[in-house]
Amino acid sequence: MACRAELASAQVSYRDLVTIDHRGLEPPYLQLAAILRSRIESGELAPGQMVPSIVTLSQEYGLAKTTVRKALDILRHEGLITMRPSWGTFVADRR
């Protein structure tokens, strides 16, 4: 995997390098949860920042909306994101 400096100089985002293995042993919702968790922990998705919508994530990773919802539910239960009805999903402030 390329280091951050290489990614920045090539103007390639982390998510451009990460895909879902639809034929893998790990269910896609767990893979997506791991991808989003990594983006949060790396700071790519900062506290208070809006997480891409269910529709956007569904299209970006080629997943059903229910699969994306399951991944987001995992992160919500872990305390990494908060969901605000009619507003969206945001990275939780972990102070």
Residues 6+ apart with CB under 8 A from 30: 71, 74
pLDDT tens, position by position, 26-60? 999 999 999 999 999 999 999 999 999 999 999 99
What is the rounded distance in angstroms from the CA atom of residue 90 to the CA atom of residue 2? 27
CATH numbers and ranges of domains, the chain: 4-91 (1.10.10.10)
What band does 89 get if pLDDT is binned at 50, 70 and 90?
very high
| Residue range 6-15: mean pLDDT, rounded | 47
